[in-house]
Amino acid sequence: MATATSRSDAAHTARMLFVVLALAAGFALVPRMTRGCGTASGTEVAPDFTADLIFNAPSADQKQLTLSALRGQPVILEFWASWCQVCHSAAPIINGVAQRFKDRGLVVVGIDTSDERILGERTAAKKGLAFPIVYDKGNAIARDYHVDALPTIIVLSKEGKIVAVRHGLTSESDLDRLVKQVL
């Protein structure tokens, strides 16, 4: 029969283990949300991908989006997740850029990664995003692009080359400047 002291010790140990695991998980996520700007040479071709569209498909019958089909147009890839608070802050900035430059040929593609598909769909709808969102099943696209911070914005030239990479919250003026470079 367990004594009150041994049950108390076991409960204390369990609580401490929970705290340690929670802190470890938190520290693992911090780099994904706090990295700064990255540069790109403009010579690296963006890895191609095909992914399921989960929100705002370009046409009602389109179920997937393939990056290589967008060649000839400047593209912004925005990696985000529903649980990322910085991503929520970035949404209106990205949305504004997508709307402002759409008539000049810019294509913005949101890539919901490190997330559950349904949560990405709900978040995109709630935010009223005006650009297509694809689901990064198994984080395959994020791995191909070496994404280790959210949000991450990757700007592609009309030739499909990586021109700029930004991690974390990017200002509207910086994003406008980057877009104007690839138009």
Domain span at residue 122? 36-182
pLDDT at 5: 61
Whether residues 21 and 61 share a domain: the answer is no
| One domain, residues 97 and 157 | yes
In this predicted model, what pLDDT tens digit does every residue of 136-183 receive, in sequence order?
999 999 999 999 999 999 999 999 999 999 999 999 999 999 999 999
Residue 108 has pLDDT above 80, yes or no: yes
Task: Return the CATH number at 83.
Answer: 3.40.30.10
Q: What is the pLDDT of residues 54-74, one digit of tens each?
A: 999 999 899 999 999 999 999
pTM for the model: 0.79
Same domain, 65 and 21: no
Both 114 and 66 in one domain: the answer is: yes
Residues 86 and 23 reside in one and the same domain: no
Integer Cα distance of 76 and 27 in angstroms = 29
Q: Give the relative orientation of helices 85-101 and 117-127 as an angle to the nearest 10 degrees.
A: 60
> At how many degrees (to 10) do helices 85-101 and 172-182 cross?
40
Both 27 and 78 in one domain: the answer is no
Assign 49 to helix, strand or coil: coil
pLDDT confidence bin for 98, thresholds 50/70/90: very high
The total number of structural domains in the chain stands at 2
Q: Which residue's entry shows tokens 């070496």?
A: 146
- Residues 95, 9 within the same domain: no
More confident site: 15 or 138: 138
